[in-house]
Amino acid sequence: MNINFSLFTIEIATALLGLVVLAIGLFLSKEKRHRLGYVIAVGLAVILVYSFGSYGQNTSVMDGMFIVDDFAVFFKQLFLIAAVLVILTSTVYVRKMGGNYEFYIITLVAALGMMVLVSAGDLLTLYVALETMTISFYILAGYKTDLKSSEAGVKYLILGAVSSGILLYGLSLVYGMTGTFVIRDIAESIKQMDGLSPAILVGIIFLLSGLGFKVSLVPFHMWSPDVYEGAPTPVTTFLATGSKAASFAALARILIEALPSYSGQWTYILAIMAAMTMVIGNIAAIPQTNIKRMLAYSSIAQAGYIITGIIAISSAGIKAVAFYSMVYVFATIGAFAVVITFSQNTGSEEIKDYAGLAQRSPFMAAVLTVCLLSMAGIPPLAGFVGKLYLFSSIVNQGYLWLVILGLVMSMVSVYYYLLVVKAMYMNDPVSSTPIKVPVGTNVTLLLILVLTLVLGVYAEPLSVLANMAGNAMFPF
C-alpha cells in the first residue's frame, strides 16, 4: 500500500514539536520550563500557517481510513488556534505549578487526537482518536493537587468511560449491520438494504448519546458544570473549545456521510435535544454565582445552537457550524483568559468579586464584555454573524420553531451575561489594587478582541474558509 505521508504533515509536525519540547525541557531548570509554552505557541503558529496549503486536496488514504478534505483542514486550524491561545494563557499557571511543563505536552496530545478525529474515515480510527483526546483531558482535569481538581478528574473519568462504552456499542451495531468500518462505505451498504433496520436505529441512538456527552447536549450535560468549575481553568478553556468542536465535527461526518438514509430519524432527535439544550443551558446559567459554572451552562446552551447546523443537512449548515465554532473559540478563550488572570490575582471565581474590574483593569473588563456579548449574538460582533448563519440554514427546513426558540434563548443569555458586565462597571471595587496581566495573556486578549470585532463587520475571510469546509461535505 503506497501512502502519501505529505497528507499527514500537520499531525507529524505537531507530534514532533511535542517530542522536541519534551526533550528540551529535560535540560532546563524548573524555574525556566514554563517558558517552553512560548516555544510551543510559536511552533503551532508555524504549523497553522503551513496548513493553509492543505486546502483543495479533498482526498483520502489507506482505503478511506484517513480523509484530508477542506472540512478536516478547517477544524485542524481551529484546534491549532485554540491550542496556541490556551498555551499562551497557561504559562503563569505552569510556573505556579513548579514548572510542570508536561502540561503543555499533554495538551498537544489532546490536540493531536482532535486532528486525527476530524480526518477519521472509519469508525475504528475515529474511536481511537476520540479516546486519545478524551484520556488526555482526564489527566488534565485532575492536574492540580487540590480537592476540586481531583473531584473533577474522577467525575469526568467515570462519566466519560460510560459514554465511551455507549458510543462503542452504537458503532458496533452500525458495523454489525453494514459489515464495514469505512464511513463512506457504510452509506452505500445501507442504501442496498430493504427498509429501515431497527438495529441501526438503536445504534444511532447510542451514537448520539455517546457523542452528545462529549458536546454537552442535554440530557448528557450533567458532567460539565462540576468539571468546568473544578478543572484548572486553562484545561476548562481547551475542553470547552477544542474538544467540543472536534466532537461536533466527528458527529457531522458520521451522520451526514455514513447515515444520510436515516436523516429523517436523527434530525428529529437532534432537534429535540437542541431545544432542550438551549432552554436548560440558559435557564440554569441565570442563578449561578461562580463565573466558571455560569460559563459551563452557557457552553451547554451554545452546543444547542451549533447542533442546528447539522440538522440542516446542507452545505450552508456545515458552513455555519464551522464558522460559529471558530468565533465561539475566540469568545470562550477570551472570557476564560480573563477568568484565569483574575483568579490568579484575587483567588476568587465568584461573579460578585468582579465588582469594579473596569477600574482595576479596563482592558480585561472590555475584552470580557465583548466576548460575553459575542456569545449572546449581539451585533456587530462575530457571534451575531455566526448565529445568523446557523439559524438561516434551518429556517427553510421546517424548523422555524427552533429558530424562534434560539432567538428567545439568546435574549435570555443577554441577562446573565449583563450581570457580569454590571458588576464590572457599576459596582465599587473590592480592592483598588490594579490587576497585573501577563504578556502572553495580553497578546491573547488583544488578538481575540480584534478578531471578534473585525469578524463582526467583515466576516468574508473566515466565511470563505467555512464555505469550503461545507462544500467538502456536500461536493455535489
CA distances from 372 to 355, 362, 449 (A): 16, 15, 11
Cα–chain-centroid distance for residue 430?
Answer: 34
How many alpha carbons lie under 13 Å from residue 298 in its C-beta half-sphere?
33
Q: Is the peptide bond before 362 cis (omega within 30 degrees of 0)?
A: no
Residues in the chain: 476
Tell me the chain's radius of gyration from C-alpha atoms: 21
Angle (deg, nearest 10), helices 198-214 and 244-253: 160
CB atoms within 10 A of CB 442: 17
Residue with cell 490536540: 111
**pLDDT digit string (tens) for 198-228?**
888 888 889 888 888 888 888 888 888 888 8
Per-residue pLDDT, averaged over 42-59, amounts to 88
186 vs 190: CA distance, rounded Å: 6
Residue 289 near residue 229, CB atoms below 8 Å: no
Instruction: Determine the average pLDDT of the residues in 266-292.
Output: 90
The residue type at 279: V
Going from the C-alpha of 148 to that of each of 154, 227, 229, 333, the distances in angstroms are 10, 9, 8, 21
What's the confidence (pLDDT) of residue 454? 92
> Is a pLDDT exceeding 80 seen at residue 129?
yes
pTM: 0.92
pLDDT digits (tens, 9 = 90+) for 326-377: 999 999 998 988 888 888 888 788 888 888 888 888 898 899 999 999 998 8
Please give the Cα distance from 201 to 5 (Å, whole number).
37
Query: Which residues in 274-313 are b (16+ Cβ under 10 Å) and which e?
Result: bbebbbbbbebbeebeebbbbbbbbbbbbbbbbbbbbbbb
Tens-digit pLDDT profile for residues 52-87: 988 888 787 777 788 888 898 999 999 999 999 988
CA distance 287 to 112: 37
The answer to whether residues 110 and 137 touch, using CB atoms and an 8 Å cutoff, is yes
CA distances (Å), origin 245, targets 345, 365, 380, 382: 30, 27, 24, 17
Q: Which letter does DSSP use for residue 5 in this model? A: G
- Is residue 62 within 8 Å of 464, Cβ to Cβ? no
Domain assignments of the chain as residue spans, ordered by start: 5-473
**Residue 115's pLDDT is what?**
92
